[in-house]
Amino acid sequence: MTKGDRRRLRKAADTATATAVAQGEMMRAAGDVVAARLEILVAGLTDPSKVDPAEMTRMGLEKVEAGAPAAARASGKLGEAAARVGASALTEAGLAGQALGAVATARSPVEASLVMMSYGMGWWSRVAGEAVRLNAALLDAQAEALKPIHRAATDNAKRLKG
């Protein structure tokens, strides 16, 4: 594993931890928002003059306002990850072709075996590094998608408490 892969793993662990904390905050805020809005709905059912049309409108609109940027952020990050995986696959195909050519022109079975072993060991290392990069990219996509939803939930919880 390279130093860069170790750095990516540490950063991915930090991202996963921060995302888990943000998810907890978001869930707590969502519970507060649901409780506050249920009180508003009950008040409106018992006395229609207490219905808050702005809050009723906000309940649906905020999902779109937070969901659209969340989807865009996730889509962008996932697109970047897919491009990296595609580029890696093309590189690997080229390396496999080079290894095949070296096996085909090997002067002995031992030389062919050494080429295959060298390619196989290199492949394993490249795949492990690619897995680290892909997992880090997926964690980044999750973290980016959560940001607008987290912001909406925590802002609503603060607003509705006051």
Enumerate the domain spans of the chain: 3-161
Closest CA to 29 of 61, 70, 62: 62
Element (H, E) at 40: helix 3-46
107 is written with which tokens?
Answer: 């002067």
* DSSP tag of 47: -
- pLDDT score for 77: 92
- pLDDT score for 57: 84
The Cα–Cα gap between 26 and 153 comes to 6
- pLDDT score for 136: 92
- pLDDT score for 60: 82
Q: Provide Rg for the chain, Cα atoms.
A: 26
Which residues of the chain fall short of a pLDDT of 70?
none
152 half-sphere exposure, CB direction, 13 A CA radius:
19
The Cα–Cα gap between 143 and 124 comes to 29
- pLDDT score for 83: 96
- pLDDT score for 49: 87
The Cα–Cα gap between 142 and 137 comes to 9
- pLDDT score for 91: 96
- pLDDT score for 105: 97
The Cα–Cα gap between 114 and 124 comes to 15
Instruction: Record the pTM.
Output: 0.77
